[in-house]
Amino acid sequence: MKSTSSFIANVLSIAGSDPSGGAGIQADLKTFSARGCYGMAAITALTAQNTQGVSAVQPVAPDFVAEQIRMIFADMRVDAVKIGMIANAGIARAVASALRPHHSIPIVLDPVMIAKGGAALLDPEAVAVLRDELLPLATLLTPNLPEAAVLLDEPEAVSRQVMESQAARLTLQGPTTVLLKGGHLTASDSPDILVSGERFHWFEAPRIVTKNTHGTGCALSSAIAAELAKGLSILDAVAVAKDWLAGAVATSGTLTVGSGHGSVHHFHGLWN
């Protein structure tokens, strides 16, 4: 990792494309820029989607995904990696193989499985490969409650106590640290828990009432990756990223993007 005092950090996103610009590669690159980093991207899948849902997904050939990653590492300094949509087992294996020689770089894995509108974005066959090959490479895993339930093959958490238990057990699957996001709880707040070994840290946040939540998971994981690339600890990176995302969600109403789940405002701190 390079200090921001002498370098602009470079961050690589490995994820799918969202033509509406609210999630996926497009959201990741916006986030990297908003957090003062240089963004790079290896595309795993093309999607046809807007704020109302996903109509089609076209995965990229696994060998070509791996070649994109190889070419980036062959020429560029990579200070952190964010992994988003993987799409299928072949791509999951290709990404794991391409990243394994670079495991010392911070890797933030956002296990994208279900779109905001409910469409499945991860082939069921790929879950086992993601669990066996990608989770052990992750510095930080950032699942929401439904994704954690899939990874653990058990019911979705409905309380903080269950969140603690599930997050702790996810760390046993390989990732150094887990940030389990509690946005799906039916409470007035939206707590997240960060678990690393025997250490537990709760991040408290009020629930912002808005339908503009398209790509929130992409934005948060990318912001954390950007802060790790700049040299912050995981705890500090999560705190900074969550504060930035809260502003992005709170100001999302100033955008007019679609008639469904609109995008967060990635550049709320930079645009008038």
Catalytic residue status for 247: no
Catalytic residue among 39, 84, 182, 218: 218
Contacts of 92 (CB under 8 A, 6+ apart): 86, 126, 129, 130, 133, 134
Identity of residue 223: A
Catalytic residue among 16, 24, 215, 231: 215
The SS3 assignment for 13 reads: strand
DSSP letter for 85, please: -
Catalytic residue status for 24: no
Catalytic residue among 90, 217, 231, 262: 217
Among 112, 166, 164, 176, smallest CA distance to 138 is for 176
Catalytic residue status for 213: yes
The SS3 assignment for 55 reads: strand
Among 86, 155, 70, 167, smallest CA distance to 127 is for 86
Quote the CA–CA distance of 86 and 75 in Å, as a whole number: 24
Quote the CA–CA distance of 196 and 135 in Å, as a whole number: 14
Catalytic residue status for 216: yes
Catalytic residue among 30, 82, 116, 181: 181
Catalytic residue status for 217: yes
Catalytic residue among 213, 231, 242, 251: 213
Catalytic residue status for 181: yes
Catalytic residue among 216, 231, 251, 262: 216
How many CB atoms are located within 10 Å of the residue 19 CB?
A: 12
Residue ranges in 154-271 assigned as alpha helix (H)? 160-171, 216-229, 234-250
Helices 160-171, 145-152: inter-axial angle, 10-degree rounding: 50
Identity of residue 148: A
The residues carrying an active-site annotation are 181, 213, 215-218
